Every structure is written in C-alpha cells, then in structure tokens.
Chains A and B, each alone.
Chain A
Amino acid sequence: MFEDAKEPRTLYDKHIDSHTIRELDEHGHVLLYIDRQVANEYTSPQAFSGLREAGRKVRRPSATLGVVDHVNPTSPSRTAAVADAGGARQVSYFGQNCAEFGIELFDILDGRQGIEHVVAPEQGFILPGMVIAAGDSHTTTYGALGAFGFGIGTSEIEHLLATQTLVYKKLKAMRVVVDGALAPAVTSKDVIMALIGRIGASGASGYAIEFCGSAIDAMSVEARMTICNMAVEAGARGAFMAPDDKVYAYLADKPRAPKGEMWTRALAQWRELYSDPGAHFDRVVTLDAAELGPMVTWGTSPDQVVSIDGSVPDPQKEPDLLKRGDMQRALRYMALEPGTRLDTIPITHAFIGSCTNSRIEDLRSAARVLRGRAVAGHVRAMIVPGSTLVKRQAEEEGLAQQFIDAGFEWRQSGCSMCLAMNDDVLAPGDRCASSTNRNFEGRQGAGARTHLMSPAMVAAAAIAGRLADVREEDRADLED
C-alpha cells in the first residue's frame, strides 16, 4: 500500500496522506477527507440552520452519528424531559435536523445513548485508520483506536456536513514516549496530567501527539482513550497511537466493526498503521512511568498540577512575572494558600464521569477503592456513567450497588457536571474532586472549584472528605 513511499513517515503522515484529496498551497493546507463524524445537540444547530438557509444537503448522511449528551438530565430515573427551555429546544431541534437530513440519532431514551466519545468507540463506529472530526474538542480520544480525531467548531461542522471534507493545515508531530511500569493505583489519567504539567497547557499547540512506549503498550484501550482525550488540554490538535492486538480485541465484538472476510481484509491494512522507524518527529518528550504518583490539580488550568503528596506552590518563587500573576489569580479563585498540602484540602463534592473517565474500568477502579467504606457525611458524591451500556454493565457487575451502598448517587449517562450544561451544576464556593478534564474558572458552576484527578482518587477523596492519596487506602487495606 505504501511501497512507493521513500521517506519514513509518522503514523500521522500516513493518516493525512491517505485522506488528502488535493494540496491547496505550499504551506501544508490540504483538502482533507473525513471518514466519519459524531454530532451533538449543542454545537450542531447553527450548522444545520446554515445548510438549510443555503439550500445545501448533507453529502453523506451515513457518515454522521448523532448523540444527545451535553444538555440531558442525569437524574437517576431516565426521562426525556429537559427542564431548561434552551436545552429542551436544542434536543428537539437536533431530532428534527437528524430526521430531515437522514442522520441516525441516539436520543435521550435510546439504550445506546451516552457521551459521544464513549458511545462511538463502544459501537465500533470508530475504526483504525479513520480520520474523524467532530464538534467537540475531546474528539482526540479516537487516537487510542488507531484513528485520528480532532475537534472543530460549528462553521467547520457545516462545511463537513456539506462536503465531507475540511480545509486542513498539517500539524507538526510530537512523540511522547512513556516507558516503565506504573506504580499500583497510578493510572493513565496520572500519566496525561503529568505530561500536561511538564509541557504546559500550550506545550503541544500546533502539534499532533503520538503516544508510545512500554507503559502505553501495557494499558487497556480504555486507559489509552483517557490519554488521547486529554491531549487537547496540552494544546494538541490530535493524538495518535499505533493500533495493536488490544485494539483489535476491543473492536472484534463491537456492533459496527467489520465482520468475517471484511474483518480479515481490514486487519491486514490496520497492521500497517505505525510510525516507520526513522520517521521525523519535531519534538520528543519522554516520561518515566515508574516515577509518577497520583496527580491532582491545584489551580484553574490543567497544567497547574502536582502529585497528591505535594503542596500548593508559592507564586513568589516563580520568576516569570506573567506566570506569577496567573498563579496568584488561580490561588485567589481556588481559595488556597501557598504551601498547603494537597491532601489536607477539604471537599464538598465528588464527581466521577465525563468522556475522560466514565468507562467500565474507571468505575471498577473507583469501586475497588470504596470496598465497603462510606462517603464522608459532608460530601455529595455522584457517578455518571459514560453511556447507558456502561451503566447497565456496571449494574450487572454489582458495581452500582457498591456505589449506592457507599453513598454515591448512581445516575444516568451524559456529559453532566464536567461542563455543567445540564442541571448538574455546583454552587459558588463548592469544591469538587472530579474525574473530568478541565479545572477552568466556572467550568462546573460559577465560582465553583474543581480539582482534577483519576476516578480512584475521586473515590478516595469522597471517603476522606478531603483530597486524599489513594495509595493510603491501598496501604490501609494491606494492614486490615
């Protein structure tokens, strides 16, 4: 397939080359073919309106899967009613648009509904070698499946629906090598948070990141999704990983994966999806997995992060005045003093969910930490599974009952309190241990404070009533 290629290429080069319809200039702009897209109710309405106003059609309706996820309620009993008038209008307009333009829709009551980046992989809608674009920044998630995904705005959604292409500028390539074995209770979430801390919130701006190394190889496909998902928090416009046998095993029984002879043909091509030896990367970053501890953010940007046994840093020790100002501002918003140990900070809320960490193994890892213990009396703790299928599986495995017994609310799937567009919103001054992806000011509610961490760390914090080191829970278990 690539025998005429002389230069060794990165997997990113292969993804882009195989989807380039034509070059548009000498500065890396190409007309890029997009295999599939996922659409949601909140970033798509103006795109559909634009098509309608211009009298344009959707070029390839079967390439789009519609999923309601951002504004739907997650209250424990499922209802299609959206209390908020704006949200209700978005859901109903989305239904109308999907019907009119012939797009398949997983509506609120559909048994396959959930967060788009959880649903699309679990349906086998995303396959290795695909290029995917969607109106959500966390579309980078699909790198974990050997595809290349990236987020776009609403105008680009309209362009994509009308033409199945985007005018695309090729990125630089960064390789992040994570070698070594993770310590017990340290997860892929900690790896990506540590990377963001190392290179900064714009450290991968202008890049697509390849993740590789023995620590990545050892991870499950779900764990890899967490890494690719949050690559955007380092500024990356896409993440990619070479698919391997774990990816093929993950896909084999998924409803929309190819079957039989078609599977065999696809697999033969998928095995060619890797960066050639000697391929050029514009930047290489290495992380030693064994050195990493459980990470937690202290500020209002995902790169304001330390290990749970660390302390809130002192802005006075930051020589860069601009950075010092940003740190001071973050500490004011977070109501934290320099030098405070992270594991002494009390919380009011604990949230497990989001496209970053709401898959079945995330729930299993949180349940393992709980093991018969109860959520602290002053903490409101919620679990929002990533999809209705994940929810059902967790119920079948008995995880749901463990969460309920511990004092967690067991809710319906959706984006929920990750961005608080539905009615799951924090109040000013609330402080939340959260398995989500963004600790921005006001993200989970105006004036609310977010600390990002892994699902197991959220469970540990919920029990302790403060940010806590999940490894202490492990040690306590050993002493029992």
Chain B
Amino acid sequence: MEPFTNVRGVAAPMLSANIDTDVIMPKQFLKGIDRSGLDSGVFHDLRFLPDGRKNPDFVLNRAPWCDAKFLVVGPNFGCGSSREHAVWGLRQLGIRALIGSSFAGIFFDNCKRNGVLLIELTQEQVGDVGKAVSEESTALIEIDLPAQKISLADGATLGFAIDDLRKDALVSGLDAIGGTLKLSDEIEQFERRHFAAHPWLS
C-alpha cells in the first residue's frame, strides 16, 4: 500500500448526502476475482451517458477535476454494501483522500486498508472547502498527513484530527496482517481460555 505523507492535487466537490457504494461501483463491475480494471467502473452511471459517451456535466469529466486526487464529499459517503471494489476503483482512478463530515463504517475501514486517507471535518468546514475547490482557479489543495493539515489554494489552512493507529498505518503503508501475526502467541492463549470457558464454540 502506497504510503501517504504530503500530497498535492486537485479536489473535486461531490457534496450530495448518502452517496452509496452501489453508485460508486455498480454491480456489473463486481464480477472479477482480482482487483484490476475497476477504474472504469467508478461512478459509472454518473460518468457515462446511456450511449457510452462521457457525461459532460459530471464533475470528474471536467477540467481540472478530471485529474482529481481528492474528493470533497457529503455526509455518510460510502454507505450501503461492504464492497471494497468501491475503494479499489477510487484508488485506481487516482483518488488519494476524501474530505467529508461523516463516512460509512465499512467504507471507512476499507479506505484505511487501501491507503486512502479519510478526513473528517465539520459540515460547515466541508461546505467551505467544497465551495473553494468548486472554482477552477482554487481547486488545487495540499494535504499534509504528518502535520495533519490541509492547505487551500488561497493559503488558508485547516487542521484535522486522526488517531495515531490509523495515521501510522497510512504514513507507513505497512501490511496490517503482518503486524497482527506478531501477536500469534497472545491469540493462541486467548483461544485456549475462550474455548475452555465456552467449549461449544471450539
């Protein structure tokens, strides 16, 4: 997983509430057994018209947002299905971070496991950032994860909170399974106690 430190890029506003993972990655793109080729599925029904042409009204089809590395999103982004394909697709499209007021729980964890930074701000702050990046001239922003800081095009900065565990995982890009496997002895001891206390589970 690619480490996230200091990333500069265009942010695209998508401020509707409850954008669900069916919309982010429609069902016809869920038929693989690997992670490849999902960039063409992201927001498919919004990005493309029924005849297959790009929808000129959709923000990610317009310059400069077609090169977006960040999305500024409405509340409860990523709700619905657990499909991690939604995050794989966003990542393949080049999205490195999302800024919003709230994210759905499973989507949140899926992002963490794929190096995608989720930044939670107040709805008012999200509205302000969304407004700023809606202008072509001020769409470029910078996110500094180690410093926990967003810099807008006009020089204004916003701090954000993130717990150390998630921050370290994103900054280092390390494999979580490897870390947990180091605790194998503790897992085994727990298992022994657990099954002794609840033998019908073993």
Contact = CB atoms under 8 A, between A and B. Distances in A.
Interface of A: 1, 19, 21-22, 24-25, 27, 29, 31, 33, 35, 42-43, 45-46, 49, 54, 56, 59, 71, 84-87, 89-90, 93, 127, 129-130, 135-137, 150-156, 158-159, 162-165, 167, 201-202, 205-206, 235, 237, 258, 262-263, 265-266, 269, 301, 303, 322-323, 325-326, 329, 419-421, 428, 438, 440-443, 446-447
A129 B198 contact: yes
A151 B15 CA distance: 26
A155 B114 contact: yes
B176 A164 contact: no
Contacts of A446: 26, 45
Interface string B12-27: 0001111010110011
Given A153-B87, A419-B22, 17 more contacts: A21-B190, A43-B83, A137-B81, A137-B82, A153-B109, A156-B113, A163-B177, A164-B191, A165-B180, A167-B176, A201-B79, A202-B102, A206-B105, A266-B200, A301-B18, A325-B16, A421-B27
Interface stretch (B2-10, B60-68, B144-152, B181-189): B181-189
A159 B177 contact: yes
A136 B83 CA distance: 8
Contacts of A59: 187
B194 interface: yes
Interface string B156-197: 000000011100000000011100110110110011001001
A153 B17 contact: no
A263 B200 CA distance: 8
A262 B45 CA distance: 53
A46 B33 contact: yes
A350 to B, nearest CB: 21
A37 to B, nearest CB: 13
Contacts of A301: 17-18, 20
Interface of B: 15-18, 20, 22-23, 26-27, 30-35, 45, 50, 74-76, 79-84, 87, 102, 104-106, 109-110, 113-114, 163-165, 175-177, 180-181, 183-184, 186-187, 190-191, 194, 197-201
A196 B74 CA distance: 18
Contacts of B17: 201-202, 301, 322-323, 326
A163 B177 CA distance: 8
Given A152-B109, A205-B104, A262-B200, A419 B177 contact: no
6 contacts: A59-B187, A153-B110, A202-B104, A326-B17, A419-B81, A420-B27
Given A49-B34, A326-B16, A269 B198 contact: yes
Contacts of B81: 137, 419, 438
A165 B45 contact: no
A202 B103 CA distance: 9
Contacts of A27: 163-165
Given A25-B165, A42-B30, A202 B79 contact: yes
Contacts of A89: 31, 33
A421 B30 contact: yes
A25 B166 CA distance: 11
Contact of A127 (B106, B163, B177, B200): B200
Contact of B82 (A24, A135, A165, A303): A135
B104 A438 contact: no
A136 to B, nearest CB: 6
A31 B197 CA distance: 19
B31 A86 contact: yes
Contacts, number: 183
A437 to B, nearest CB: 9
Contacts of B184: 163
Given A54-B177, A137-B82, A329-B16, A153 B113 contact: yes
B82 A25 contact: no
B3 to A, nearest CB: 16
A14 B68 CA distance: 44
Contacts of A326: 16-18
Contacts of A71: 31
Contacts of B102: 202, 205-206
A153 B50 CA distance: 30
A260 to B, nearest CB: 10
A265 B200 contact: yes
Contacts of B26: 442, 446
Contacts of B194: 19, 33
B22 A442 contact: yes
Contacts of B198: 129, 266, 269
Contacts of A443: 22
Nearest to A44: B33
A442 B201 contact: no
B31 A33 contact: no
B16 A205 contact: no
Contacts of B18: 201-202, 301, 303, 326
B165 A164 contact: no
A440 B46 CA distance: 13
B99 to A, nearest CB: 16
A93 B33 contact: yes
Closest 7 CB pairs of A and B: A86-B31, A202-B76, A155-B113, A153-B84, A153-B110, A258-B200, A45-B33
Nearest to A425: B27
A415 to B, nearest CB: 11
Contact of B22 (A49, A162, A323, A441): A441
B82 to A, nearest CB: 4
Given A33-B191, A136-B82, A262-B199, A322 B74 contact: yes
Contact of A156 (B80, B109, B187): B109
A316 to B, nearest CB: 18
Contacts of B187: 21, 31, 33, 59, 163-165
B114 A43 contact: no
Nearest to A257: B200
A155 B110 contact: yes
B20 to A, nearest CB: 5
Contact of B180 (A1, A163, A322): A163
Contacts of B20: 301, 438, 440
Contacts of B74: 322
